[in-house]
Amino acid sequence: MARPRSQGSRTDGAVEPRQLSPDAEEYLSFLVVERGRAPSSIASYRRDLLAYEEYLEWRGDCMATVDAATVRSYLAMLEASGLAASSRARSLAAIRGLHGFAHAERGVARDPTVEVEGPRVPQGLPKALSEAEIGRLLGAVRGDDAKALRDRAVLELLYATGARISEVAGLDVRDLDLEARLVRLFGKGSKERIVPMGRPSVAAVREWLGPCGRPKLVGVTRPRREDADALFVSSRGARLGRQAAWTIVRRHAVASGLADKVSPHVLRHSCATHMLNHGADIRVVQEMLGHASITTTQVYTRVSQEHLRRAYLAAHPRSSVSRRAPSGRRRGGAGAPP
């Protein structure tokens, strides 16, 4: 089965970008207005739905005629193309949402996706740095110029709060209460949560907000109105973007010899894992990370248990002793202790 092309065409030979159907556009507007989905999520859904609607057009189907077999056929095509299970699961989530919306809001008779089982997505363990590696990363920032003060504050805040990079990049100065050591974060769906900060992160942010830090960069150019209150800014005085914040993490990971161990969420994973290792209640960690479901947080308990198992095997004197009875004795037989 040939895969449909991902763009439309005109009779004059020029290629024009495909457009989503009105139903799909209405669904994306619903996600923005009613669900508060982030622009990055909407962009991903748009790509997934464009490809899906192109497939339906290629088959001669529309929203009213799609059945479960059609959706399964589309997922099979994605799998045959080599798309990862996680990407196929995300695509199915967008398709489910569209059909559910069309059924509930647009009068389509049925939702064919209720009969479709999603791909199995292997659940890998979050990759956290050790506490010693965190120390190396946080200590990798050198100097006391404005950029160094900013980078140090970004790293300290990410590790102290377990925040997502996008959440830290989106902070305004007014979201901080340094006296109370609290920060207000806005997570997925613009859900607000209050998270405590440790003393090192408070000290780093204070330095960044001092005369040698943020004021030096804010004054480079006149900031846009939406950037005027941004906590973290670029060298040009604009709000620090998510990609720029990730670049800061990556740059100092390279400097500390940890380049192959970092990911955009590495400090978030490390914060959660280390808190559980030190006895934090899982519900507290769930609240800090902004997880809607405790099952999302429970993956970190698996990391913590693996850490415990490795420590036990390395340290307990009888962790590797054979379970068989010593030679010459049989369990429960002659020679066995009473």
Hey, how many other C-beta atoms are within 10 angstroms of the C-beta on 241? 15
Hey, how many other C-beta atoms are within 10 angstroms of the C-beta on 58? 13
Hey, how many other C-beta atoms are within 10 angstroms of the C-beta on 134? 20
Pull the structure tokens for residue 168.
């830290």
Q: Are 221 and 237 in contact (CB under 8 A)?
A: yes
Angle, to 10 degrees, between the axis of helix 282-289 and the axis of helix 294-315? 130
Q: How many angstroms separate the Cα of 43 from the Cα of each of 35, 94, 110, 319?
A: 15, 11, 26, 51
Q: Using DSSP bridges, classify how beta strands 176-177 and 15-16 pair: parallel, antiparallel or unpaired.
A: unpaired
Angle, to 10 degrees, between the axis of helix 294-315 and the axis of helix 266-277? 60
Q: Are 49 and 20 in contact (CB under 8 A)?
A: yes
Hey, how many other C-beta atoms are within 10 angstroms of the C-beta on 146? 21
Which of helix, strand or coil describes residue 182?
A: strand
State how far the Cα of 223 lies from the Cα of 228, in Å rounded to an integer: 6
Backbone angles phi, psi at 196, to 5 degrees: -75, 155
Active site residues: 164, 188, 265, 268, 291, 300
What angle is formed at CA 305 by the lines to CA 303 and CA 308, rounded to 5 degrees? Answer: 115
Beta-ladder partners of 230: 172
The secondary structure of 81-92, three-state, reads: CCCCHHHHHHHH
